[in-house]
């Protein structure tokens, strides 16, 4: 896990290594200063020349400045390394998510992925900074201080034999009890982010049903659980300070009491005042080093769960992979489903699609109709290989979709969904998702065919009108038409409309379909619709029922021999007076 994470350091290895070297220099100087100071104090009891005093004082000032410089430079390089590491890690996770298949994405909730990209990476960044800075300095300070203390204090240094194990054991015990609480906190973060995400996305629904108080209570409950767990963990970690104070006080009392006795009894031959001063300093350095190590341990313990969650995303392999020698060209828009069975998960008991056999010639217009839950969307998602079939095969251009380069295949297929997504930016920016090199004339032409140019022209800024995140400043029908124009600019071999004209009136729907015939006559068009008027002129109409093709044929054939189609037609023609208007 650590190796996987450290692979994201990359170009920031140099500042990380430099930080280590600065920390070594700072620790050595910090541990040398008390030694020099102790000798100076001992010399002051005798005949100390002013020149020697000034030189030693100057040396101490120089060492202090040098130590300060090393610490400051280490702070700069560690910040640069840790921030760069976090940037690379975020990019690596985001790139990995882009490679995910829908099946992979289904394993993680969007709120969980957001938490991993934000909170978890921030925790790992902080842990990395502590590892290359504090986790280097503290052990070195501990080792150097113990060595110098034993060299100067002799028997007096036995205080550390008592203090160090007691403090170490206490700190480990504290971290052990704090770890499960931190582990629970990150689970709660996912729920908190999920609550925020749902509320923001469904704000109109929340207000429409006056459920603000319910949402507030739900969020408050999630926030309270995080507070409770964090408070419990922080209470345990807060025991560090009293434990540190007890050990520090014991060390001070022991050194002063025993040290004073040794100075008096030996008349300064075994131990002198300067040595006691140095022992107090080294004792404090040792205890502070242990305390910092405990904080590092707690931080790493807390970050370990974040590390695991991040690596879980990085280790997740896409269920869709390119073949060893992929086909790099789609010949035409012909489609063939042969003995297709499909379920969304290998562990699922029920197939979403089963016994599907369907052949579509290139350039045909195919309508797909059926009740809610009949797996219409599942059927078309197999064409651009958003999912792989569980059994059987799907062929495009006479070749199994699993043999194509995935990018090549998807570049040849354009999908317009019922729940369309627009991105923050201008209308031009959104349209050029279909063709990044499209000219303004091509944008206008595609928009006219999609019946979008009329409403775009009414905006003060026209095609430069800014679209808010998610397209919240345009209506549902306008959003659908913009997405259809975006798909047309792609000039695909296969165009899939998944109930993507549900928010426009029947007249606009007819004009859009007329535009398809004129603009992309050779493109295979698959239209999923609830309205028979949207598909009755199609070359082939497929009726789905419970994941199986119930019937297929022209409008006339289905009216003559398909009871489901007849029933839908009768229901819709009887209610002809209430056609759906554009939002």
As a whole number, mean pLDDT of residues 132-152 equals 80
pLDDT for the residue numbered 340: 94
Provide the H-helix boundaries in 352-414.
376-381, 406-411
CA distances from 222 to 45, 189, 218, 228, 229 (A): 66, 8, 6, 10, 11
As a whole number, mean pLDDT of residues 333-351 equals 89
13-22, 262-271, 482-491: least confident range: 262-271
State phi, psi for 443 to the nearest 5 degrees: -65, -45
As a whole number, mean pLDDT of residues 348-375 equals 90
d(CA 281, CA 246): 16
Whether residue 137 is predicted with pLDDT greater than 70 in this model: the reply is yes
Helix and strand numbers, DSSP H then E, in the chain: 21, 12
**420 near 460, Cβ under 8 Å?**
no
9-18, 303-312, 331-340, 354-363: least confident range: 303-312
Whether residue 155 is predicted with pLDDT greater than 90 in this model: the reply is no
Higher pLDDT residue, 576 or 95?
95
67-76, 79-88, 95-104, 353-362: least confident range: 95-104
d(CA 130, CA 21): 15
pLDDT for the residue numbered 19: 92
Each residue's pLDDT tens digit, 524-562: 999 998 888 889 889 999 999 989 999 999 999 999 989
Q: What angle do CA 11, 17, 19 make, to 5 degrees?
A: 115
DSSP line for 105-157: HHHS-HHHHHHIIIIIHHHHHHHHHHHHTHHHHHHHHHHHHHHHHHHHHGGGG
pLDDT band at 46 (very low <50, low <70, confident <90, very high): low
As a whole number, mean pLDDT of residues 484-498 equals 90
As a whole number, mean pLDDT of residues 66-84 equals 92
Give the distance, in angstroms, between the CA of residue 64 and the centroid of all CA atoms in the same chain: 43
Name 541's bridge partners.
Answer: 367, 553
d(CA 497, CA 401): 19
pLDDT for the residue numbered 151: 73
Contacts of 199 (CB under 8 A, 6+ apart): 206, 215, 219
pLDDT band at 269 (very low <50, low <70, confident <90, very high): low
Higher pLDDT residue, 526 or 144?
526
Beta-strand relationship, 524-528 and 365-370: parallel
In this structure, the number of other CB atoms found within 10 A of the CB of residue 458 comes to 8
Contacts of 30 (CB under 8 A, 6+ apart): 67, 141, 144, 285
In terms of Cα–Cα distance, which of 476, 488, 579 is closest to 533? Answer: 579
pLDDT for the residue numbered 577: 42
pLDDT for the residue numbered 81: 94
pLDDT for the residue numbered 506: 82
**572 near 533, Cβ under 8 Å?**
yes
Higher pLDDT residue, 132 or 272?
132
pLDDT band at 583 (very low <50, low <70, confident <90, very high): very low
If phi > 0 it is left, if psi is from -120 to 50 it is alpha, else beta; for residue 389 that is beta
pLDDT for the residue numbered 412: 93
pLDDT band at 285 (very low <50, low <70, confident <90, very high): confident
CA distances from 226 to 169, 175, 182, 219, 299 (A): 28, 19, 10, 11, 17
Kindly report the average pLDDT of the chain as a whole number.
84
As a whole number, mean pLDDT of residues 317-329 equals 88
Overall pTM surpassing 0.75 (yes/no): no
């Amino acid at each position: 896990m650590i190796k996987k994470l450290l692979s994201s350091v990359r170009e920031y290895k140099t500042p990380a290594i430099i930080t280590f070297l600065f920390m070594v220099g700072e620790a050595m100087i910090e541990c040398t200063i008390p030694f020099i100071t102790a000798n100076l104090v001992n010399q002051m009891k005798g005949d100390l020349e002013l020149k020697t005093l000034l030189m030693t004082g100057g040396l101490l000032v120089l060492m202090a400045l040098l130590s300060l410089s090393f610490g400051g430079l280490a702070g700069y390089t560690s910040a640069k390394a840790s921030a760069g590491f976090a940037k690379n890690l975020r990019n690596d996770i985001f790139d990995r998510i882009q490679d995910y298949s829908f099946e992979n994405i289904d394993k993680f909730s969007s709120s969980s992925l957001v938490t991993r990209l934000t909170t978890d990476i921030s925790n790992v960044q902080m842990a990395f900074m502590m590892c290359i800075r504090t986790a280097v300095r503290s052990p070195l300070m501990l080792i150097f201080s113990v060595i110098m203390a034993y060299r100067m204090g002799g028997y007096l240094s036995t205080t550390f034999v008592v203090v160090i194990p007691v403090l170490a054991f206490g700190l480990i015990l504290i971290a052990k009890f704090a770890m499960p609480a931190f582990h629970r906190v990150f689970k709660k973060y996912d729920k908190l982010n999920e609550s925020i995400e749902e509320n923001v996305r469904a704000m109109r629904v929340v207000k429409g049903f006056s459920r603000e108080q319910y949402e507030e209570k739900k969020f408050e409950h999630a926030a309270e659980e995080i507070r409770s767990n964090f408070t419990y963990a922080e209470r345990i970690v807060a025991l560090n300070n009293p434990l540190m104070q007890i050990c520090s006080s014991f060390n001070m009392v022991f050194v002063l009491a025993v040290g004073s006795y040794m100075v008096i009894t030996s008349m300064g031959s075994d131990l002198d005042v300067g040595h006691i001063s140095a022992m107090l300093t080294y004792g404090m350095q040792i205890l502070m080093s242990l305390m910092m190590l405990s904080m590092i341990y707690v931080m790493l313990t807390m970050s370990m769960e974040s590390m695991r969650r991040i690596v879980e995303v990085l280790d997740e392999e896409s269920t869709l992979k390119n073949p060893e020698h992929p086909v790099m060209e789609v010949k035409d828009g012909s489609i063939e489903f042969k003995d297709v069975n499909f379920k969304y998960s290998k562990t699922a008991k029920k197939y979403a699609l089963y016994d599907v056999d369907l052949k579509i010639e290139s350039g045909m217009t195919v309508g797909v109709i059926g009740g809610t839950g009949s797996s219409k969307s599942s059927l078309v998602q197999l064409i651009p290989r958003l999912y792989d079939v569980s059994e059987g095969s799907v062929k495009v251009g006479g070749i199994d979709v699993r043999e194509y380069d995935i990018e090549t295949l998807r570049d040849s297929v354009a999908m317009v969904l019922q729940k369309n997504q627009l991105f923050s930016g201008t209308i031009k920016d959104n349209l050029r998702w279909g063709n990044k090199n499209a000219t303004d004339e091509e944008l206008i032409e595609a928009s006219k065919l999609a019946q979008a140019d009329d409403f775009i022209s009414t905006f003060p800024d026209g095609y430069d009108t800014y679209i808010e995140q998610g397209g919240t400043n345009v209506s549902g029908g306008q959003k659908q038409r913009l997405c259809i124009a975006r798909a047309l600019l792609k000039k695909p071999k296969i165009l899939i409309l998944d109930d993507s004209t549900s928010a426009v009136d029947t007249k606009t729907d007819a004009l859009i379909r007329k535009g398809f015939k004129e603009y992309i006559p050779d493109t295979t068009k698959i239209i999923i619709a609830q309205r028979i008027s949207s598909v009755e002129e199609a070359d082939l109409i497929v009726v789905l029922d419970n994941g199986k093709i119930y019937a297929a044929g022209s409008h006339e054939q289905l009216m003559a021999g398909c009871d489901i189609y007849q029933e839908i037609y009768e229901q819709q023609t009887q209610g002809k007076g209430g056609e759906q208007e554009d939002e």
